[in-house]
Amino acid sequence: MKSSKVLKILKISRVTLWKYVKSRKIRVEQEPNGYYKYNDEDVYKIAGIKDGRWNVIYARVSTKKQKQDLQNQIENCISFLNAKGLSVDNVYSDIKSAMSLDRKGFMELLSTVMDFKIKAVYVSYKDRLARLSYELVEKLFSDYGTEIIIINQCESRSLEQELFEDIMQVIHSFSMKMYSKRRIAKKLLIESKAKQELIDAISGDLDDSN
């Protein structure tokens, strides 16, 4: 791993890192590009993090009517891991649009990733984790030593339909917000006109009395 990641995990200075390297507590190799790569196992050992970090699954669908697809995603990932001789340490799932990262299962996954407990996250498709901010999620997970393994690179027809529904949901939400803003603006305009008419009426009465 890179030095920046080592410093983040161990919460130490570069001087202390050099001391670990000098005392051979952390093995290091120099790559062809000149950068140094620090041994993951040594770093996690010093941090008190077990070497056997988790292999987990994340699955997601947008609606409850897709529950069977959710189960299929999980089963496909389990079969994939078993074929590689790996066990599944935990499964995280959500029934919610990928347009938002505010999902219970995803937030639990993220919290565990940030505790440096997860080695790899297995997903059926790239957009199961995120649709518009996947690169951000990938970078964040990588910073905590977690790899994202995508089993299927080609999207299925059902996922194309889900994407269409997500887009329609965003359009509907935007339309409702615009309608609400127009309604408020119209209400304020009517109130403003009513106030002006009242002021004009009072002014007229005062002029008549004079």
Cα–Cα distance, 151 to 161 (Å, whole number): 20
Say which range, 14-23, 45-54, 162-171, has the weakest mean pLDDT. 162-171
**Widest CA span in the chain:** 100
Question: In this model, does residue 6 exceed pLDDT 80?
Answer: yes
Q: Is residue 92's pLDDT more than 60?
A: yes
Are 41 and 63 found together in one domain? no
Q: Read off the pLDDT of each residue in 41-67 and give the average, rounded to a whole number.
A: 87
148 and 177 together in one domain: no
Please give the mean pLDDT across all residues of the chain: 83
Tokens of 92: 């995280």
Residues 40 and 60 in one domain: no
pLDDT recorded at residue 162: 56
Q: What does the block give as tokens for 91?
A: 């499964």
Are 80 and 142 members of one domain? yes
CATH assignment at residue 83 = 3.40.50.1390
The residue annotated as part of the active site, out of 3, 23, 62, 180, is 62
Rounded-to-10 torsion of CA 71, 73, 79, 84: -150
In the predicted structure, residue 103 carries a pLDDT above the cut 90: yes
pLDDT band at 178 (very low <50, low <70, confident <90, very high): low
- Count of domains forming the chain: 3
Letter string b/e over residues 114-139, b meaning 16 or more CB atoms within 10 A of that residue's CB: eebbbbbbbbbbbbbbbbeebeebbe
The residue among 172 and 141 whose pLDDT is bigger is 141
Same domain, 23 and 94: no
Structural domain ending residue among the three candidates 26, 47, 68: 47
Instruction: Output the six-digit token pair for 191.
Output: 């109130």
Q: Which of the pair, 26 or 205, is modelled with greater confidence?
A: 26
**Within this chain, do residues 76 and 138 fall inside the same structural domain, yes or no?**
yes
Expressed as residue numbers, the domain containing 10 is 3-47
62 is catalytic: yes
Beta strands 118-123 and 90-95 are unpaired
% of the chain beyond a pLDDT of 70: 76
The upper half-sphere exposure of residue 159, i.e. CA atoms within 13 Å in the direction of its Cβ, equals 19
> Are 72 and 104 within one domain?
yes
What does the pLDDT read at residue 190? 76
Sheet containing strand 147-150, edge to edge, reads 90-95, 54-61, 118-123, 147-150
Give the mean pLDDT of 78-88: 94
Last residue of a domain, one of 124, 139, 155: 155
Q: From CA 142, how far away is CA 42, in angstroms rounded?
A: 18
- pLDDT on residue 16: 96
Q: Are residues 75 and 7 in the same domain?
A: no
Examine the domain organization and report whether 162 and 127 are in the same domain: no
Amino acid 195: pLDDT:
67
Q: Are residues 72 and 123 in the same domain?
A: yes
Residues 186, 203 within the same domain: yes
Looking at the chain, which runs of residues are DSSP E strands? Answer: 28-30, 36-38, 54-61, 90-95, 118-123, 147-150
Vertex 8: Cα angle to 17 and 89 (nearest 5)? 115
Give the distance from CA 19 to its chain's centroid.
36
Tell whether 58 and 151 lie within a shared domain: yes
Indicate the residue type of 116.
Answer: F
* pTM for the full predicted model: 0.63
Among residues 47, 35, 34, the alpha carbon closest in space to that of 6 is found at: 47
